[in-house]
Amino acid sequence: MENKTFIDLKKPIITDARSTLNKLRIRVDYQKGGINYFSGDICKSGVYVYITPCSYNNGIIGQTITGKTHQDGYKILLKELNRKSQKQIDLAAGKIMPYAQQISDLYSDAKHREIYELIKSIPL
């Protein structure tokens, strides 16, 4: 199963006069743990789902960083791992991707807490 997908947003997000975010990119991947240089938080190693609005036109992906959650997206830890395992990434993607349209609909309605609860309710 592919570990990323692009879903149309019901309501595109307009960040300024030049930038319209029309797709929601949902990606499952591994992140090595450590300290986040921007926030100072300690991030755990593991498999995460990344939910990011973007503009996607003719194969070109554009993303705007604004500091606002509904425009920048976020990540949710699915499973802690000490080392990268493609098998675990593929397994998690296989469980998350069937919910991609539902995640996109919730994101368009700014129901971020419901997205978190939905993802955490999926057994891995």
pTM equals 0.85
pLDDT tens-place values along the chain, 124 residues long: 568 888 888 887 777 656 788 889 999 999 999 988 877 888 999 999 999 998 877 777 777 666 665 668 899 999 999 999 999 999 999 999 999 999 999 998 889 999 999 999 999 8
Do 49 and 30 touch, CB atoms closer than 8 A?
Answer: no
Strand partners, 67: none
Which residues lie across from 31 on neighbouring strands?
46
**Structural domain count of the chain:** 1
Our measurement of the distance from residue 43's CA atom to the centroid of its chain's CA atoms, rounded to an integer in Å, reads 16
Rounded CA gap, 6 and 10, in Å? 13
Range of the domain at 101: 4-121
Pairing between β-strand 42-43 and β-strand 34-35 as defined by DSSP bridges = antiparallel
pLDDT for 22: 86
